[in-house]
Amino acid sequence: MIDTRPTRNLALELVRVTEAAALGAGRFMGRGDKIAADRAAVNGMRLVLNSIQMDGVIVIGEGEKDEAPMLYNGEKLGTGDPPLVDIAVDPIDGTRPLALGLQNSITTVALAPRGTMFNPGPYVYMKKIAVGPQARDVIDIRASITDNLHAVAKARGEDVKDLTVVILDRPRHEDMIAEVRRCGARIRLIPDGDVAGALMTALPDSGIDVLLGIGGTPEGVLAACALRAAGGNIQGLLVARNDEERHRGDEAGIDFHKVLTMDTLVSSEDVFFAATGLTNGDLLRGVDYFAGGAVTDSLVMRGLTGTVRRITSTHRLSKLTQISAIEY
Binding residue positions = 38, 62, 90, 93-95, 125, 170-172, 192-194, 216, 219
Binding-site positions for substrate: 93-95, 125, 170-172, 192-194, 216
DSSP state for residue 233 in the 8-state scheme: E
Neighbours of 30 (CB within 10 A): 12
Q: Is 242 exposed, middle or buried (0-12, 13-18, 19+ CB in 10 A)?
A: exposed
- Residues paired with 55 in a beta bridge: 84
Residues in Cβ contact with 56 at an 8 Å cutoff, skipping those fewer than 6 apart: 49, 76, 77, 78, 84, 85, 86, 87, 111
Q: Which residues are part of a known binding site for Mn(2+)?
A: 38, 62, 90, 93, 219
Residue 140's CB is within 10 A of a number of other CB atoms, namely 12
- Whole-angstrom CA distances from 318 to 291, 293, 298 are 10, 7, 21
Q: How many Å is the maximal CA-CA distance in the chain?
A: 58
Instruction: Give the C-alpha separation, 147 to 219, whole Å.
Output: 25
The letter for the amino acid at 170 is: R
Helix/strand/coil (H/E/C) assignment for every residue in 300-325: EEECCCCEEEEEEEEEEHHHHHHHCC
